[in-house]
Amino acid sequence: MKPLLLVCAALLLLALAELPIGYYTLLRIVVTIGAVAVVANDYKQGFNFWGITFGITAIIFNPILPIYLHNKTAWMPIDLIAAALFIIKAFLINNTDNTKTNNNV
C-alpha cells in the first residue's frame, strides 16, 4: 500500500502546477482510491485519526459528487495538506510493518 500512498502524494504535489482539467479528474480518482484504501485497512482498528482523516479526504476528492471550489488557489493548501497526510501515513505504515515483523521473530 505504501507505493499507492506515495503516488497519491506525488500526484497531489504535481497538481500545484497548471495542468489540463483531465489531470484533476484523474487526481480525484486516484486520491479517492488511496484514501478509501487507508480507511479500509484501518477499519479493523476502529475509529481512529487516520480513518477519519482519510474518510474526509475521500469525500473532498471524490469524483462522483465532486466539490468545486472554482479557484485553483483555494485547492492549493488542500492539495499540500493531503499530500503531507499521504506521505506521513506511508512512512508510518512502513514503520508499523517493520515493528510487527521484528516482534514476530
pLDDT digits (tens, 9 = 90+) for 4-36: 999 999 999 999 999 999 999 999 999 999 999
CA–CA separation, 82 and 53 (whole Å): 9
pTM of the model: 0.84
Residue 3, amino acid: P
pLDDT at position 72 is 86
The full length of the chain comes to: 105
Cβ-proximal residues to 29 (8 Å cutoff; 6+ apart), any chain: 63
CA–CA separation, 51 and 91 (whole Å): 16
Cβ atoms of 62 and 30 within 8 Å: the answer is no
